[in-house]
C-alpha cells in the first residue's frame, strides 16, 4: 500500500495503481478523452495532466503509477491552464460543426470544453481536411473530426483482434484509419461498431437510417413493421435519463406505436425460432457424428452475431462449415415477416417495410448482404441502432418517461425468457441448453432457476459441461455423452477459442460467440458510454426480464408452434431451410 496526498488530502491506495485510478477512488474524476477501462494507458490526449511534487514537468495521471509519499495536485493553476490549453488546441484543429454534428449533446470533447469553461479558442490552427469514408453499409468515418485519441485503435486491435485501424503517417498529418489511405471496405473490418461506441467525438458513427424510416412511415402505400432486439429494452432508457439497466419494454412498445409503426413485433419471437432451428441442427450434427459416424463439422458455432460471421469469413475460412447455417434472429424475422405475415395480412412483400432496432452496427451490414432476400425482396429494409431510435423518439416530441406500458402485437410478438437472454453473453447457449435438454430427456433442465451459471457473466471465455443421462428412446445415442460447450464474447476471446480448437488443445460440441464485450447488451449501437458496470446492469436487467416470464423455454412458445403448424412445417424442413438458413463465403482481405 502507498500513502499519497491528493491536493493535500492523505489517502492510502494500493501500490502500482495509476494516479488517475487513485484519484477516482477519492471521487475525483480527472478529465480524459483517451483512457479506457481495463486497457493500458494510451496517453494520447494529455488531458489528465497533474502536478507532482518534485517533478519538473506535468505528468499524465493515466500513465503515472503512485509511489509512497507522492504529493499530487490536480487543480492547481498550472494544471488548469495546461488543460485549458490542450482543449483549445484540440478545438483549434477539430472540424467543429457542433450544431449539426451527429454527436452534438453526446460528445465528450464538447462536454469537457463546457466543463472547463472554454469560452473562446485563442488559436486558429491549420485543420485536417474532412475526408469522409462511407464505403461500408454500417459506419461513416470523418477524418476532420478525429482527435487522434486512439481509443478506436485499441478497441479494434486489442478487444476485437481485428486490427483494421491504426495511426498512419506522423505528426500533424497522422490519420487514424485503415492501412495507408484505404477505406474500410478495402480491409478486413467486421463493422462491429465498437470504434463508434468508444469514439469521444463524431469521427466514427453509424450510417444513419432515420430518414429512410421516416419516409417509409409517411408513405401511405407502405405497411411498416418494426422488430426490436432484446438488448434494446435494457438500454434505451439510458437515453432518457433512466439508470442503466432499467427495463423499458412497455414504454418502448408504446413509443414505437406513437411513431406510427403498423406492427410492433419482437425479434425475440425469431430468437425462439432460432433455438428451434439451431437446436435441431446441433442434435442432427451430433447424430451424424455419433450414430452414422459421418464426417461432420463440430463444434458447431452460433451464427446470430454478424460481426463474428464476418470475422470467421475473413480470418477462419476453414471453419465456415462449423457455423450454424441459421440466419440471425433479425434476418429470420425479415424473411418470415415478408412471407408468413405478409400473406396473413394480404399485403404484397414489396409494400411491406421491415425496420429493425438493433444494439448493433454490423446488423446494418448484415441486412444488406446479397443472400438476405429469400422473401424475394430485401428481407430487412432498415436497421436503427438503439441511439437512432432514441433520436427518433426525441425528434417526434414523445415524452418517453410519461408513456404507459404497451404490448407487442401478435403473431410475432410473444417470446420466451430464453429469447430475452440472447442479449447477454452466454444467453444463446443457455437458451439452447434449456430447450435441447428438455427435448432430449423429456425433463426440464435440472438447474437453479434454469440458469447455466458457468456461462453467465463477464469473464472472456467460459466453459461448461453437461452430462446427458436417461434420454428419451429416440435420443438414446446421447446417453452418457458429456456435452462440452464454450462461450466467448469480444472477438479477441473468440480468436483465443478458435486457436485452441485449431491446435487441438480444446474440443467442444457447441460454441457461442458474440462479437461485442458482454454480448449484444454491449453492442456498437448502444447508448454511450458502455463500461463493465453498465454492461452488468444491462445483463441483470435482461435476466430479470427472463425470470419475470411464465414462458422460459423457446420450444414452449405457442406462437412458434403456430408458425410451424401454419407455415413452416418443421425445424430444418424445406420451407425453414429456404427462409431461415443461409450460407457463408470466405472473404478475401484486399491486402492479401
Partner 1 sequence: MLVEDACMEEAHNHETDELSQQELLEKLDEIIDHYGADKGALIPILQMAQSLFGYLPDPVLSKISARLEKPFSEVAGVVSFYSFFSRTPQGKHQIRVCLGTACYVRGAKEVLTSLKKELGIDLGESTEDRCFSLEVGRCFGACGLAPVAMVGTDVHQRVKPSKMKALLQDYRLSFSSEEEGGEE
How distant, in Å, are the alpha carbons of 289, 333, 361 from that of 209?
A: 44, 19, 11
Question: Is residue 462 flagged as an active site residue?
Answer: no
Minimum CB separation from partner 1 for residue 198, in Å?
A: 17
Minimum CB separation from partner 1 for residue 111, in Å?
A: 29
CB-wise, 123 or 172, nearer to partner 1? 172
Minimum CB separation from partner 1 for residue 590, in Å?
A: 9
Question: Is residue 278 flagged as an active site residue?
Answer: yes
Report how far residue 460's alpha carbon sits from residue 304's, in angstroms, rounded to the nearest whole number: 18
Minimum CB separation from partner 1 for residue 174, in Å?
A: 8
CB-wise, 144 or 157, nearer to partner 1? 157
In sequence order, what are the residues at sequence separation of 6 or more whose Cβ sits closer than 8 angstroms to the Cβ of residue 358?
Answer: 229, 231, 232, 267, 330, 364, 383, 384, 385, 386, 523, 525
Q: Does 250 bind partner 1 (CB under 8 A)?
A: no
CB-wise, 412 or 501, nearer to partner 1? 501
Q: Which entry of 93, 206, 281, 545 is annotated as an active-site residue?
A: 281
Question: Is residue 371 flagged as an active site residue?
Answer: yes
Size of the site for partner 1 (CB under 8 A): 18
Minimum CB separation from partner 1 for residue 177, in Å?
A: 8
Please identify which residue in 34, 60, 155, 187 interacts with partner 1, judged by CB under 8 A: 187
Stretch that binds partner 1, among 179-187, 269-277, 419-427, 557-565 (CB under 8 A): 179-187
122-127: long-range pairs with CB below 8 Å, 24+: 122/88, 123/88, 123/89, 123/92, 124/92, 125/89, 125/92, 125/93, 126/93, 126/172, 127/93, 127/94, 127/95
b/e map 377-413, b = 16+ CB within 10 Å = bbbbbbbbbbbbbbbbbeeeebebeebeebebbebbb
Q: Does 465 bind partner 1 (CB under 8 A)?
A: no
CB-wise, 561 or 589, nearer to partner 1? 589
Question: Is residue 520 flagged as an active site residue?
Answer: yes
Minimum CB separation from partner 1 for residue 157, in Å?
A: 6
Minimum CB separation from partner 1 for residue 155, in Å?
A: 13
CB-wise, 344 or 502, nearer to partner 1? 502
Please identify which residue in 180, 348, 407, 474 interacts with partner 1, judged by CB under 8 A: 180
Q: What cell does 341 get?
A: 405475415
Minimum CB separation from partner 1 for residue 139, in Å?
A: 15
Helix (H) or strand (E) holding 356: strand 352-358
Minimum CB separation from partner 1 for residue 64, in Å?
A: 25
Minimum CB separation from partner 1 for residue 291, in Å?
A: 40
- Please give the angle made by the CA atoms of 435, 549 and 242, to the nearest 5 degrees: 120
Q: Beta strand 461-467 with 482-489: parallel, antiparallel or unpaired?
A: antiparallel
Strand-pair partners of 206: 139
Taking CB under 8 A as the criterion, which residues in 399-458 touch partner 1?
none
Report how far residue 300's alpha carbon sits from residue 281's, in angstroms, rounded to the nearest whole number: 9
Report how far residue 24's alpha carbon sits from residue 192's, in angstroms, rounded to the nearest whole number: 30
Please identify which residue in 31, 96, 137, 178 interacts with partner 1, judged by CB under 8 A: 178
Please identify which residue in 11, 179, 210, 461 interacts with partner 1, judged by CB under 8 A: 179
How distant, in Å, are the alpha carbons of 58, 146, 148, 163 from that of 210?
A: 45, 24, 28, 30
Taking CB under 8 A as the criterion, which residues in 143-172 touch partner 1?
157, 162-170
Q: What cell does 581 get?
A: 438458413
CB-wise, 177 or 202, nearer to partner 1? 177
**Phi, psi (deg, nearest 5) at residue 134:** -115, 40
Stretch that binds partner 1, among 106-114, 178-186, 319-327, 446-454 (CB under 8 A): 178-186
CB-wise, 490 or 571, nearer to partner 1? 490
Taking CB under 8 A as the criterion, which residues in 481-500 touch partner 1?
none
Q: Which entry of 108, 366, 388, 430 is annotated as an active-site residue?
A: 366
CB-wise, 150 or 223, nearer to partner 1? 150
Residue 53 burial by Cβ neighbours in a 10 Å radius (0-12, 13-18, 19+): exposed
Q: Which entry of 93, 206, 277, 278 is annotated as an active-site residue?
A: 278
Q: Are 310 and 190 in contact (CB under 8 A)?
A: yes
SS (H, E, C) 495-558: HHHHHHHHCCCCCCCEEEEECCCCCHHHCCCCCCCCCHHHHHHHHHHHHHHHHCCCCCCHHHCH
Minimum CB separation from partner 1 for residue 181, in Å?
A: 9
CB-wise, 168 or 544, nearer to partner 1? 168
Q: Which stretches does DSSP call E strand in 215-351?
A: 223-228, 263-266, 300-301
Q: Which entry of 363, 364, 506, 537 is annotated as an active-site residue?
A: 363
Question: Is residue 215 flagged as an active site residue?
Answer: no
Stretch that binds partner 1, among 126-134, 209-217, 370-378, 584-592 (CB under 8 A): 584-592
Q: Which entry of 520, 537, 554, 576 is annotated as an active-site residue?
A: 520
Q: Are 157 and 166 in contact (CB under 8 A)?
A: yes
Question: Is residue 304 flagged as an active site residue?
Answer: yes
Stretch that binds partner 1, among 23-31, 173-181, 205-213, 232-240 (CB under 8 A): 173-181
Question: Which 8-state DSSP code applies to residue 581?
Answer: B
Report how far residue 142's alpha carbon sits from residue 199's, in angstroms, rounded to the nearest whole number: 12
Q: Where are the alpha helices (DSSP H) in 233-295?
A: 249-259, 267-290
Question: Which 8-state DSSP code applies to residue 592?
Answer: -
Helix (H) or strand (E) holding 390: helix 386-395
Q: Which entry of 34, 239, 304, 516 is annotated as an active-site residue?
A: 304
Among 424, 399, 428, 510, CA closest to 464: 510
Q: Are 552 and 400 in contact (CB under 8 A)?
A: no
CB-wise, 89 or 182, nearer to partner 1? 182
Binding mask of the shown chain, residues 289 to 308, with x at each position contacting partner 1 by CB under 8 A: --------------------
CB-wise, 169 or 444, nearer to partner 1? 169
Judged by the rule CB under 8 A, the positions of this chain that interact with partner 1 are: 157, 162-170, 177-180, 187, 589, 591-592
User: Which residues does the annotation mark as catalytic?
Assistant: 278, 281, 304, 324, 363, 366, 371, 520
Amino acid at each position: 500500500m502507498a500513502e499519497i496526498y491528493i491536493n493535500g488530502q492523505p489517502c492510502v491506495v494500493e501500490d502500482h495503481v495509476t494516479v488517475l485510478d487513485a484519484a477516482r477512488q477519492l471521487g475525483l474524476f480527472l478529465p480524459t478523452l483517451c483512457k479506457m477501462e481495463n486497457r493500458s494507458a494510451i496517453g494520447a490526449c494529455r488531458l489528465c495532466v497533474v502536478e507532482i511534487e518534485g517533478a519538473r514537468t506535468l505528468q499524465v495521471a493515466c500513465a503515472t503509477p503512485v509511489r509512497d509519499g507522492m504529493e499530487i495536485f490536480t487543480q492547481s493553476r498550472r494544471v488548469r491552464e495546461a488543460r485549458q490549453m490542450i482543449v483549445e488546441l484540440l478545438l483549434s484543429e477539430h472540424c467543429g460543426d457542433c450544431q449539426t454534428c451527429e454527436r452534438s449533446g453526446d460528445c465528450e470533447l464538447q462536454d469537457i470544453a463546457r466543463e472547463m469553461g472554454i469560452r473562446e479558442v485563442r488559436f486558429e490552427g491549420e485543420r485536417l481536411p474532412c475526408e469522409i469514408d462511407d464505403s461500408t453499409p454500417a459506419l461513416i468515418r470523418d477524418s476532420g473530426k478525429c482527435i487522434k485519441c486512439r481509443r478506436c485503435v485499441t478497441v479494434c486491435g486489442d478487444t476485437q483482434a481485428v486490427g483494421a485501424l491504426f495511426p498512419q503517417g506522423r505528426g500533424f498529418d497522422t490519420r487514424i484509419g485503415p492501412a495507408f489511405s484505404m477505406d474500410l471496405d478495402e480491409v478486413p473490418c467486421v463493422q462491429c461498431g465498437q470504434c463508434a461506441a468508444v469514439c469521444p467525438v463524431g469521427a466514427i458513427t453509424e450510417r444513419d437510417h432515420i430518414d429512410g424510416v421516416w419516409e417509409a412511415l409517411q408513405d401511405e402505400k407502405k405497411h411498416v413493421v418494426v422488430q426490436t432486439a432484446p438488448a434494446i429494452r435494457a438500454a434505451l432508457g439510458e437515453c432518457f435519463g433512466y439508470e442503466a439497466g432499467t427495463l423499458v419494454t412497455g414504454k418502448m412498445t408504446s413509443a414505437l406505436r406513437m411513431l406510427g409503426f403498423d406492427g410492433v413485433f419482437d425479434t425475440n419471437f425469431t430468437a425462439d425460432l432460432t433455438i428451434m432451428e439451431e437446436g435441431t441442427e446441433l442434435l442432427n450434427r451430433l447424430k451424424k457424428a455419433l450414430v452414422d459416424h459421418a464426417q461432420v463439422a463440430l463444434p458447431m458455432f452460433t451464427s446470430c452475431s454478424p460481426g463474428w460471421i464476418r470475422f470467421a469469413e475473413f480470418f477462419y475460412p476453414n471453419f465456415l462449415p462449423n457455423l450454424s447455417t441459421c440466419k440471425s434472429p433479425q434476418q429470420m424475422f425479415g424473411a418470415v415477416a415478408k412471407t408468413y405475415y405478409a400473406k396473413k395480412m394480404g399485403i404484397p412483400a414489396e409494400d411491406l417495410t421491415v425496420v429493425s432496432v438493433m444494439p448493433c452496427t454490423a446488423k446494418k451490414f448484415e441486412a444488406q448482404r446479397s443472400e438476405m432476400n429469400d422473401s424475394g425482396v430485401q428481407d430487412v429494409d432498415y436497421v436503427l441502432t438503439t441511439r437512432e431510435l432514441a433520436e427518433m423518439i426525441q425528434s417526434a416530441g414523445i415524452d418517453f418517461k410519461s408513456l404507459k406500458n404497451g404490448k407487442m402485437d401478435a403473431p410475432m410478438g410473444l417470446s420466451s425468457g430464453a429469447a430475452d437472454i440472447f442479449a447477454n453473453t452466454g444467453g444463446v447457449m443457455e437458451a439452447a441448453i434449456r430447450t435441447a435438454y428438455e427435448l432430449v430427456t423429456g425433463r426440464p433442465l435440472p438447474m437453479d432457476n434454469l440458469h447455466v451459471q458457468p456461462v453467465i457473466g463477464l469473464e472472456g471465455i467460459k466453459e461448461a459441461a453437461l452430462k446427458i443421462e436417461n434420454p428419451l428412446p429416440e435420443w438414446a445415442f446421447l446417453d452418457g455423452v458429456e456435452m462440452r460447450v464454450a462461450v466467448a464474447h469480444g472477438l479477441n476471446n473468440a480468436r483465443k477459442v478458435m486457436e485452441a480448437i485449431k491446435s487441438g488443445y480444446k474440443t467442444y460440441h457447441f460454441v457461442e460467440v458474440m462479437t461485442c464485450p458482454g454480448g449484444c447488451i454491449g453492442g456498437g449501437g448502444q447508448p454511450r458510454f458502455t463500461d463493465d458496470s453498465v454492461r452488468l446492469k444491462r445483463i441483470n436487467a435482461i435476466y430479470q426480464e427472463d425470470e419475470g416470464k411464465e414462458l422460459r423455454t423457446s420450444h414452449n412458445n405457442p406462437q412458434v408452434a403456430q408458425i410451424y403448424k401454419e407455415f413452416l412445417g418443421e425445424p430444418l424442413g424445406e420451407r425453414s431451410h429456404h427462409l431461415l438458413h443461409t450460407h457463408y463465403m470466405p472473404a478475401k482481405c484486399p491486402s492479401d
